[in-house]
Structure 1
Amino acid sequence: MSELASSSSAPSTGTLEISGLTTAYGPVTALDSVDITAGRGQVTAVLGANGAGKSTLLRTVSGLVRPAAGTVLLDGTDLTRAPAEEIARAGIAHVPEGRGVITELTVEENLRLGALLGASRKRTEHNLARVYEMFPALAQRHRRDAHVLSGGERQMLVIGRALLSGPDVLLLDEPSLGLAPRIVAQIFGLLRELVDSDGVTVLLVEQNARSALSIADVGIVLNLGRVVARDSADALAADDGLRHAYLGF
């Protein structure tokens, strides 16, 4: 199976190191000294209730929100206060919550938007073929306007669009939201395949803790902006007290 062509010609391990990250909205501290290391070829699931700081974490890493303190390193390069475009070019792709597609454009036109940050034509075509290999439903509808897609297909489309840049790190915010369990299982299975075959690092924010832990290597639990637990995904899933207190299953 072919792999995604990386966003950078330089060797990369895709290791994301978040240290002491603190983000505030006015007087409200959304993240409080958060430490997370997401290793290459791993899914790190960030779990917690609404208001735990999960989406703020991804928005801070991708440069959409500026932190008050702390650092974000990709393979040792400090991206903490870099512009969002520079962070994307460095190899971090962010798929926010909401499945935002441009319905007036075709499926393929939506996908190609992900390659606008300077990808070479050769790399773009390689990554487009890889996305169609991963998501056959998109290949079948590549000439159709995006408004014909189901909710699950739109989620595949926004993930595929992010992959067109050939990222080293993929930030995913609530990809299961509003989808039927069968579609969630399909998309999460494809994410696991992506990590195993292409070596992409995935930082996955989810309220669907059971599904997230089923494909994750490592789990992090946030509560009111603080890390309250971190362990292997299997260990977190087996901890009844933790699950009942923070994860809802």
Structure 2
Amino acid sequence: MSTAPVTAALEVRGLSTAYGPVTALEEVDVTAERGRITAVLGANGAGKSTLLRTISGLVPAGAGEVLVGGVDHTRSPAERIARAGVAHVPEGRGVITELTVEENLRLGALLGTARKRTDRSLDDVYTMFPPLAERRSRNCDTLSGGERQMLVIGRALLCGPDVLLLDEPSLGLAPRVVGQIFGLLRELVDAADISVLLVEQNARSALSIADVGVVLNLGRVVARDDAAVLAADDGLRHAYLGF
């Protein structure tokens, strides 16, 4: 685990979000620190994906604050939040299938260049994800689910983010592939000064690589602690995490 000084890259304070009359988040507080992985856990409908969508500006906040690097972006449009250093990888492994692997990656590099100069290059992504290097000239409709997940994470990294939002990256993947991707994610955070907010239903795997865990239930935070402490709490695991 990283021993670098802990600094908040993202602060969510009293965040509330609703879809019409239905409250999805209620007074949620989350802090994502530089050089650390914060896992957001809970059952379906807990509000995990809504939290990421509200942070990235895809869903408007009803109340509260979203601070990126200490700057208030609660009411900022999604494009401005992305340029402030927040890269959102939504559930579903969205790639442009008509383009090649390398063309998809270059889209991320273009945004990174527009935001700030980043030291991360295509070669860095290919080193991190060797299957992408082998398939760089292939159209993305030929990739497996795991390869597509590597691609969308790599594309997000080429934006040069300070905060990486990952929504259910393990969904539908074989356990071996999940272990590989999560292991690479841990290595990435240990080697770079970025913050990862990881939304997962696979709580056991998420807590194995996270530094901090936050548990949501029906839109409210019901637990927040070191990942190892949450993983060892039998009552909490059985009530909210399913293992």
TM-score, normalised by the number of residues in structure 2: 0.94
1:138 to 2:151 alignment: no
2:66/2:74 contact within 8 Å kept: yes
Deviation per CA, 1:138-197, whole angstroms, max 9, x where unpaired? 111111111111110000001011111010000000000000000000000000011000
Q: Does 1:56 align with 2:33?
A: no
Q: Could you say what secondary structure the match of 1:246 adopts? A: helix
User: What is aligned with 1:248?
Assistant: 242
Give the secondary structure class of the aligned counterpart of 2:49. Answer: helix
Flag as ranges the 4+ runs of structure 1 deviating above 3 A.
Answer: 122-126
Work out which of the residue numbers 109, 122, 132 in structure 2 matches 1:128: 122
Would the aligned equivalents of 1:14 and 1:169 in 2 still touch at CA under 8 Å?
A: no
Is the Cα contact below 8 Å between 1:14 and 1:200 reproduced in 2?
no
Q: Is the 8 A contact 1:23 1:69 kept in 2?
A: yes
Aligned partner of residue 113 in structure 2, secondary structure: coil
CA distance in 1, matches of 2:145, 2:170: 10
Contact 1:22-1:34 within 8 A present in 2 as well: yes
Structure 1 gaps, min length 5: 1-12
1:234 equivalenced with 2:228 (yes/no): yes
Change (3 A) 1:170 1:126: closer
RMSD of the alignment, in Å? Answer: 1.6
Which residue of 1 is the match for residue 3 of structure 2? none
Q: TM-score, normalised by structure 1?
A: 0.92
Q: Distance in 1 between matches of 2:120 and 2:170?
A: 27
Aligned length: 237
Alpha-carbon separation, structure 1, partners of 2:186 and 2:143? 23
- 2:213 is matched with 219
Match of 1:44 among 31, 38, 45: 38
1:180-217 CA distance string (max 9 Å, x none): 00000000000001100012100000000000000000
Unaligned runs of 5+ in 2: 1-6
Given the alignment of the two structures, is residue 91 of structure 1 paired with residue 85 of structure 2, yes or no?
A: yes
- Residue type of the alignment partner of 1:139: A
Instruction: Give runs of aligned pairs for residues 190-205 of structure 1, distance below 5 A.
Output: 190-205=184-199
C-alpha distance in structure 2 between counterparts of 1:204 and 1:85, whole Å: 21
The whole-number CA distance in structure 2 between the counterparts of 1:222 and 1:67 is: 17
| CA apart distance, 1:14 | 5.9
